[in-house]
């Protein structure tokens, strides 16, 4: 188990969560919340891979990372697929992380944030890492 690298991934994930906390109520930045939510989940999952002594692939799709994990269940696979699609689209001007019905709503953004925060907290618990120790 590589707890040092796992903690580094968790610190990076926590940074994304901090960004979200600062912009979560800004309705014009919901696509940025979606992007950082996806990033936080990706980094949290990579922390778990490190902890399980598995290779950390240089990929960004949460759905693919999940298939490499043992004993960690993600309950909302549809939300993960949605975040994966928003991540790719948010990197290019034009679509800027649009859902099929347009830009994520504030409600969508809050759901993404809560989901990312929940995944982060669960992985901290699995790794027996106190959130405050990552600062």
- Distance of alpha carbon 36 from alpha carbon 126, whole angstroms: 22
- DSSP 8-class letter at 129: -
| Segment 74-94, tens digit of pLDDT | 678 888 888 888 766 555 555
CB atoms within 10 A of CB 53: 9
pLDDT of residue 81: 84
Query: Is the domain 3-134 a CATH 1.10.3720.10 member?
Result: no
pLDDT of residue 74: 67
Q: How far is CA 47 from CA 50, 93, 129, in A?
A: 5, 30, 11
Q: Domain segments of the chain: what residues?
A: 3-134
List the pLDDT tens digit at each of the 135 positions of the chain. 788 999 999 999 999 999 999 999 999 999 889 989 999 999 999 999 999 999 999 988 898 898 888 767 667 888 888 888 876 655 555 555 565 567 888 999 999 999 999 999 999 999 999 888 887
pLDDT of residue 112: 95
pLDDT of residue 85: 80
């Amino acid at each position: 188990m590589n707890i040092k690298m796992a903690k580094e991934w968790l610190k990076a994930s926590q940074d994304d969560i901090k960004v979200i906390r600062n912009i979560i109520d800004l309705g014009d930045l919901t696509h940025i919340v979606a992007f950082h939510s996806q990033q936080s989940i990706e980094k949290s999952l990579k922390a778990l891979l490190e902890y399980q002594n598995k290779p950390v692939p240089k990929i960004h799709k949460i759905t693919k990372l999940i298939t490499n994990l043992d004993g960690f269940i993600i309950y909302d696979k549809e939300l993960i697929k949605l975040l994966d699609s928003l991540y790719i689209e948010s990197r290019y001007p034009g679509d800027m992380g649009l859902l099929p019905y347009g830009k994520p709503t504030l409600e969508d953004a809050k759901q993404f944030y809560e989901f990312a925060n929940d995944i982060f907290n669960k992985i901290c618990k699995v790794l027996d890492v106190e959130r405050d120790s990552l600062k």
